[in-house]
């Protein structure tokens, strides 16, 4: 069973972490394709190599450039020395230095962390190095160009037994010097593309956590790990702030039915979280996960006989669209319509939007409310569960938390509740306690 393994920056931060990664890969011969990130932080106050590259590229003086560039070189040389690698990066750094001084592009600069780490990891493993600039193509918007990429990358992967292909970047044309980076998702997206084109059976995404957690560990102490989650559940949780795996990383392989497993490089014995298209696996709890975001505003529009006015909702949303804003939810009643928007974006256009709403729909009144947080309760088990919404309300009422909004999708996969920002953490803990600890 061919597998692809992707390792994050913390997993490849230094020689000690390289050894862990090497042991993981060598323990399973099916792990044939490897996607590395750039070296991450080695300790709390350390600086990621990618951040150092940005700093060097945008240096305001020759002294700052030389100092930062030397720091980058030292990071890689320490890995080479401690692992006794038979690779010399001197020429690579000379090329990179010249391109930095020529200001070739910031995307090129950012990509060199993965590029150099890929060379070292390939040397350490004895695998072939494949530069994604020659086989992964990214369009002008920073998105994966499947029509150009798939035939080229599929052919390349079919010709190699084992390879290391760095994440995060590709090129915008057949010219490998025209480096582009992914707009979102980075190395996770590369992992999915390689999984798709390499026709693998499993995509292992190795990071510094033992899977996807039911709730944010900064809010809930020692939350449970989710054993199995579907792509739909993952998308709902990721959209609302959960960040173990970016939702963009799922799209290249979702249609292929390739599962993803999130594993911990520092605890490889942990089971992790399996992400699948669909499953008959019964969830451990009615809900799969809880996530949320703070910083929303509500535009409350009231008008008598609104329900009889054709096109009312369209006109309201058109005003929001023309201001360049997206909306989160639109809960409504017979004579009221609420539009929930991201607060910081709304503030910039607040008075313009209010004036245009008055002109567009002539409301009886418009009220604004800020300080709103949205919490998503997600789970495939909710479809057959009874009284889920009632349990949510009870959990919040017991903590004297007022629910400002509720919205449930027709798929019965999630419930969104709105509470004041000040109650955000306490609300998540109350819901977790009700559905996870008390079940």
Question: What pLDDT is recorded for position 100?
Answer: 95
Question: What pLDDT is recorded for position 334?
Answer: 87
Residue 247: pLDDT over 70: no
**Token pair recorded at residue 310:** 């054709």
How confident is the model over 384-436, as pLDDT tens digits?
777 888 999 999 999 999 998 888 766 678 899 999 999 999 999 999 999 99
Query: Using a CB cutoff of 8 Å and minimum separation of 24, what contacts does 246-250 make?
Result: 246/184, 246/185, 246/186, 246/188, 246/189, 247/185, 248/182, 248/184, 248/185, 248/188, 248/189, 249/185, 249/188, 249/189, 249/191, 249/192, 249/205, 250/192, 250/275
At 172, the pLDDT band (50, 70, 90 cuts) reads confident
Alpha helix ranges (H) inside 84-105: 90-101
**CA–CA distances in Å: residue 109 to residues 7, 92, 104, 212, 393:** 20, 13, 8, 31, 50
Contact at 8 Å (CB) between 422 and 373?
no
Instruction: Pick the closest to residue 213 from 227, 231, 196, 195 (CA basis).
Output: 227
Question: What pLDDT is recorded for position 66?
Answer: 96
Cβ neighbours for 363, distance < 8 A, ≥ 6 positions apart? 301, 302, 303, 357
Using the structure block, give the residue that is written with the tokens 């956590």: 209
**In CATH, 1-207 is 3.40.1160.10:** yes
How confident is the model over 330-376, as pLDDT tens digits?
888 889 999 999 999 999 999 999 999 999 999 999 999 999 999 99
Average of per-residue pLDDT values in the chain = 91
Residue 241: pLDDT over 70: no
Conformation bin of residue 412: beta by default, left when phi > 0, alpha when psi is -120 to 50: left
Question: What pLDDT is recorded for position 174?
Answer: 67
Predicted structure pTM score: 0.85
Stretch 173-198: mean pLDDT, rounded? 85
Three-state DSSP at 208 gives: coil
Question: What pLDDT is recorded for position 361?
Answer: 93
**Token pair recorded at residue 293:** 């975001």
Distance CA 289, CA 149 (A): 34
How confident is the model over 118-136, as pLDDT tens digits?
999 999 999 999 999 999 9
Distance of CA 104 to the CA centre of its chain: 28
**Token pair recorded at residue 348:** 């910039």
Cβ neighbours for 321, distance < 8 A, ≥ 6 positions apart? none
**CA–CA distances in Å: residue 371 to residues 287, 366, 367:** 26, 17, 14
Question: What pLDDT is recorded for position 103?
Answer: 94
Per-residue HEC secondary structure of 284-309 comes to CCCCCEEEEEEEEEEEEEECCCHHHC
């Amino acid at each position: 069973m061919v597998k692809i393994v992707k390792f994050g920056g913390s997993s490849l931060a230094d020689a000690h972490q390289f050894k862990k990664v090497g042991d993981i890969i060598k323990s399973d011969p099916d792990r044939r394709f490897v996607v590395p990130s750039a070296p991450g932080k080695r300790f709390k106050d350390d600086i990621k190599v990618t951040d150092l590259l940005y700093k060097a590229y945008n240096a305001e003086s020759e002294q700052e450039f030389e100092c930062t560039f030397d720091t980058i070189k030292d990071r890689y040389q320490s890995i080479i020395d401690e692992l006794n690698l038979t690779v010399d990066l001197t020429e690579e750094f000379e090329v990179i230095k010249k391109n930095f001084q020529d200001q070739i592009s910031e995307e090129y600069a950012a990509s060199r962390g993965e590029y150099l780490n890929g060379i070292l990891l390939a040397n350490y493993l004895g695998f072939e190095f494949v530069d994604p600039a020659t086989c992964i193509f990214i369009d002008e918007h920073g998105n994966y160009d499947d029509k150009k990429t798939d035939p080229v990358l599929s052919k390349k992967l079919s010709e190699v037994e084992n390879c290391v292909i760095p994440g995060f970047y590709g090129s915008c044309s057949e010219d490998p010097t025209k480096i582009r980076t992914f707009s979102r998702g980075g190395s996770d997206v590369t992992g999915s593309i390689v999984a798709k084109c390499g026709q693998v059976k499993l995509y292992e995404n190795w990071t510094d956590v033992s899977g996807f957690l039911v709730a944010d560990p900064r809010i809930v102490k020692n939350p449970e790990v989710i054993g199995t989650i579907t792509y739909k559940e993952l998308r709902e949780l990721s959209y609302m702030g959960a960040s173990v795996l970016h939702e963009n990383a799922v799209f290249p392989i979702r249609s292929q039915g390739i599962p993803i497993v999130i594993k911990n490089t520092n605890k490889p014995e942990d089971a992790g979280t399996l992400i699948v298209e669909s499953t008959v696996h019964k969830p451990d709890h009615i809900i799969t996960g809880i996530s949320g975001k703070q910083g929303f505003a509500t535009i409350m529009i009231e008008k008598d006989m609104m329900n009889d006015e054709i096109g009312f909702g369209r006109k309201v949303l058109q005003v929001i669209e023309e201001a360049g804003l997206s909306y989160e939810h639109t809960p409504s009643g017979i004579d009221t319509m609420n539009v929930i928007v991201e607060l910081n974006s709304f503030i910039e256009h607040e008075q313009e939007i209010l004036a245009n709403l008055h002109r567009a729909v002539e409301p009886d009144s418009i009220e604004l409310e800020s300080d709103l947080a949205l919490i998503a309760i997600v789970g495939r088990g909710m479809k057959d569960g009874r009284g889920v919404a009632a349990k949510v309300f009870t959990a919040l009422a017991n903590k004297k938390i007022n629910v400002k909004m509720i919205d449930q999708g027709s798929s019965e996969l999630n419930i969104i509740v709105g509470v004041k920002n000040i109650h955000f953490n306490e609300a998540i803990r109350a819901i977790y306690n009700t559905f996870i600890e008390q079940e």
